[in-house]
Amino acid sequence: MRIFKTKWFARFARKEGNDDKKFSVAITEAEKSVAVVNLDGGLIKKRISRSGQGKSGGYRTTIVYRIKILAVFVYGFPKSTKANLSGIELDAYKKLAQMFLGFSDKISQKR
């Protein structure tokens, strides 16, 4: 499993004080289908805990995801600031997911 963060997400995570261990744990949980929402089109939504708090007061993350192959954290936000992605945002992230997942297929075929 390869785990990446977009530049935007990396800045967001650093600003919020999140470390890579939280993201590895989130993907491990996603692999076991623990508290993950399938948004279709290669996207999942996963809660990440805030330092010193639980997941209920934490963050929602949007991840381009292909089981056991690839995870790219593309967007995150505190649950207190926003309920969910808008339809327009969801469509845009699904298009991004198609691009990322298409890249991984091409790389796998070359090996």
* pLDDT single digits (tens) 19-59: 888 889 899 999 888 888 999 889 999 988 877 666 667 88
How many of the other CB atoms lie within 10 Å of CB of 88?
8
In the prediction, which pLDDT does 95 show?
A: 93
Query: 46 in helix, strand or coil?
Result: strand
Higher pLDDT, 57 or 71: 71
Higher pLDDT, 99 or 109: 99
In the prediction, which pLDDT does 88 show?
A: 94
Q: Tell me which residue range forms the domain holding 69.
A: 2-110
Q: What is the DSSP letter of 56?
A: G
Q: Both tokens of residue 69?
A: 């192959």
Tell me the pTM.
0.84
Q: 75: domain CATH number?
A: 3.30.2310
In the prediction, which pLDDT does 1 show?
A: 83
How many structural domains compose the chain? 1
In the prediction, which pLDDT does 11 show?
A: 95
Single out the residue of 18, 19, 74 nearest to residue 43, CA to CA. 74
**Across the chain, which distance is largest between two alpha carbons, in Å?**
44
